[in-house]
Structure 1
Amino acid sequence: MSPPPANDPEQTEKRSNSVTAREYVLALPAELNAKNRADLARSFASAVVERYGVAADVALHAPSAGGDDRNYHAHILTTTREVEPDGLGKKTRILDAAKTGGPEIESLRELWAMQCNEALERHQKPARIDHRSYERQGVDEMPTLHLGPTSTTMERRHKTEQERKGEPYKPRTFKARENERRRTLNDHVREMVRELAATVREVAEQAMDAKRKGVNGLLNALRVKGKQEADEQARRAAEARRREEERKEALRQQALREARERAVREAKERMADIAKRVQRLAPDAREQFLAGEYPSEPFDRALKAHSHPLGTAGLDAEEKAVRAHLVTCQEQEKRQQAERQQAPVRGRWRGGPSRSRSRDYDSGPSF
């Protein structure tokens, strides 16, 4: 049997938990055409190969049906070892080390932003990107939440269903609704900024007009008036900023309260529904149903917690409450059964049927 090839990442590693590849996910500018997007992704991959001496594989993805039409992206897989003439060599530890990993990733993000902006400028597109967060850019906007694949799929199906019914689309998941509120708030903030900028421009234009006039008396009068107006505008602008900050904070607190109240309400409704469902089941089917709703395996439980309105803590509390309720119901059922057994049986002395009734159970969960 021939030895494995020296350039096979899977065969090169000896440890069972070794990482054989790194993935880079690139959001490609929708303003560029397909060829330009492909060239841009390959240009970044070439820079990574040249920088770290690794091998790279590029996969280009178009937006999925019913999703965001701008979601062009690329997946780049690179080896974790350098490519040498006789195969794969030493590990590229610079991306793993605690001291160098963060700066290297930041440098790669900056490189990607620079390459994107150069491509957009080269093809005469006005859009530009910035790898920095809103906070680092000094932009007074609230960032939106990342939906993830589960919420995105739910929203996509919900949107398709609403369009089929001829109804306006309204976000269904909490994150999508929160993103809509944040976008509305950001739009309002941008409008306020535009109004303030227009006021500043108006004051500046008035000052320039005053400078063009040659009459000293009129110029002095306009200068005094301009100063008074500038002071008043500055005062109003400061007051507007203060009110806007207060309004934004009030909206943020209100949004947090509403989100918490909705989550608690949904969690209570969910717990009541599960408690009713498990109570209707036969005793031997209850534990199987609870195991499906509250799995013990960490990955499955994490998935369940992700869809729960209150997350992991809410799921744990719900399981505890449901099991406690089930114990109470079981004790009550035992008491009722004991009372029926001790009660005198009617009708049997005359050969008639017994009127005692037994509890009806479902055979199991209907999923």
Structure 2
Amino acid sequence: MFVDHLTLADFRSYPSADFALEPGATTFVGANGQGKTNLVEAIDYLASLGSHRVSSDIPLVRHTAEKALVRARVRAGLDDDRAVLLEVEINPGRANRARLNRSPVQRPRELLGILRTVVFSPEDLAIVKGDPGERRRFIDQLLITRWPRMAAVKADYDKVLKQRSALLKSLAGRSQSAQGDAEHTLAVWNDQLARFGAELLQARLRTLAELAPYAAEAYAAIAPRNNLAKITYAPAMPLPAGDDRDELAAALIEQMEQRREEELRRGLTLVGPHRDEITLELGDLPARGYASHGESWSFALSLRLGGFDLLRADGLQPVLILDDVFAELDATRRERLAGHVAEAEQVLITAAVAGDVPGQLAGARFIVEDGNITSEEQP
């Protein structure tokens, strides 16, 4: 899978952009603030319907513009001439609109799974050093990339969680009789939270179990000193052995019943996968708080590369995006990373200095300067 053409209108800093891409490695070179990351962000947006840099669509629309357009033609593979045209119109404050082969689709979510990307960027350091929400977000992004239908499951879970928490908050501190009147409504939300939560938990457990060896292998390949990188799912409640969905749902219901009084008293949903943690360890020590900056950076990169390798093992060929990665790596790590990803169908790289990108990833190169994109012939 690779993108062979990208068109932008009023996306980020670009009034317009329109250029062809090739399979293999492509590097966008430019000083900071020239717009190179905006280009790869646009491609990832078509794959994930979100940005790896910001949580809102508002910054994605160029200042003074009302909407932005991102369009890309995606080829199925190097030996496959099939192509699809993906398009999203970003409308902050209103519903975004999407088209597939120029025909409108009912919801943008229908585009998920057509283009798949794996992005590594400086923001990924938060996966290792940040709070548990960053690690949950990482695993949820990966499982949605594997199984696009999980985007709807995650959205349903978040919706039920919000509604249930609002009900608990409204009942906090109220009389027993008032709480009793809401018993039926709470039971409905309990059942739905357990149903969607069990499906999300099952997908997380399966994905993490399959990701762990790939991430460990990637870390060993990149880091000059090979401490064992370990990833473990750490639920906030006891879970049954295995990942049977019905058993997981039953465990969630049981926990909600056991913690009912505490939840009512605090007005919070204390049970569910939104409370879970993912433990990252290097050797026998937790990465958070003990790993050096270089080790943390290598661990974050290995998680993304492990995800990339897992998707390929699933029979998928995602576009790999390395956004301003090489400047943070020493020469040894650069060469090891290049060797790990050189066979990807498409690698999109951003770099402030062309010399930071190893020769193994020599390919097409674009110079990005003040929003202008110029193709540069390679020597």
TM-score, normalising length from structure 2?
Answer: 0.23
Higher relative contact order (CA 8 A, sep 6+): 2
Q: Which has the higher strand share?
A: 2
TM-score, normalising length from structure 1?
Answer: 0.24
Q: Which has the higher helix share?
A: 1
